[in-house]
Amino acid sequence: MKTWDAIIVGGGIIGLSLGLALRRKALQVLIVERGEPGREASHAAAGMLAGSGGEIAPPLTTLTGESARLYPQFVHELQDESGINVDLRDHGTILVSSRPDFPASAEPLSAQQLHALEPSLGLEEAKPAAGPETAFAFLGERSVDPRALVGAALNAARHLQIDISSGTEVQSVLVSEGRAVGIRTDKTSYLSEVVVNCAGAWAGSFRPYSFPVRPVKGQMLAVVRGPALRHVVRAESVYLVPRTDGRLLIGSTLEDAGFNKQTDVNTIQKLLHDAVELVPAVASSKQHEAWAGLRPGTPDGLPILGETATAGYFVATGHFREGILLAPITAALMTELILRRPSSLDLARFSPLRFFQATG
């Protein structure tokens, strides 16, 4: 029976990026995906590479900062191996806030500077929406098109001869004498001494471990023929992410709605309304698409990265709102762990074992 050096459960951006990193180290890799690769959270994301925003929990900033630094090289390799442009944009983000609590790396903007950077985001227009104390700052962040990114990763995976089994649901990790030996799917079994759970919001739904990952729904919409924004614009209630192809993405919600991925008209209207308050020219755009995705959330807001108590069974999930950004660093760190090399960053805070402490 055929065996692989590593089996990855889940073909989202995390599983695909890790599969590619392992394959580049000459491992034989199988990715097992329940549906079609890259059609869940990674398809729904806005693609902000927001590594230094004030919302990010401190233990995570080392990972986000390092991953942001790796991004240009990560994209360069993917584009090279796939022939797909992933729209990595380098224009930066304009932060809009009613509280003067911008991250230290943000540069406050005067009304004139704001107007020069982004004429359709006038101070006078934006102030009524965000309140009289509204302030603006510039942050040197990038953005990417996550759908193009997963498309490129999938193409690159095929190009590098990674095996991909789509439409195959993993039901359990096979364990023998305390070690992982493969996986059981709805159809058959596949053998490997390394199994990595990259199943996103569903990572806790197959044996032997119920990782406490929960789906956090996010609804978004895209408009076309709206204002030609150059920058990502991020306020408290809404963000706008321009794409080079003319789409403008508007997001998003944070909802505890189980595995329901439906959008509702009121929520989409509210997002659009908030976007118009911030950038009035959005009012003349045409709605193009609305969708929802499920972010993998964890109880402490940190990802789960590391080996479980079952030798050879690893997990890389719980990336919540930062999974697109964290894909390069996750792939690099998990590759070190799987190859039993010293880790270049301390991963103790992210260990899966934190959820399975012995009691009494």
Binding site for ligand FAD (CB under 6 A): 9-15, 32-35, 40-42, 44-48, 169-170, 198-202, 206, 218, 220, 251-252, 293, 295-296, 317, 319-325
Under 8 Å between Cβ of 165 and 6: no
How far is residue 253's CA from residue 290's CA, in Å, rounded to a whole number? 12
- The answer for 43, left when phi > 0, alpha when psi is -120 to 50, beta otherwise, is alpha
Under 8 Å between Cβ of 47 and 325: no
59/122 with CB nearer ligand FAD: 59
Half-sphere exposure of 313 (CA within 13 A, CB side): 23
How far is residue 345's CA from residue 282's CA, in Å, rounded to a whole number? 43
CB-CB neighbours of 126 under 10 Å = 23
Contacts of 101 (CB under 8 A, 6+ apart): 54
Token code pair at residue 315: 């997990």
Under 8 Å between Cβ of 238 and 278: yes
125/255 with CB nearer ligand FAD: 255
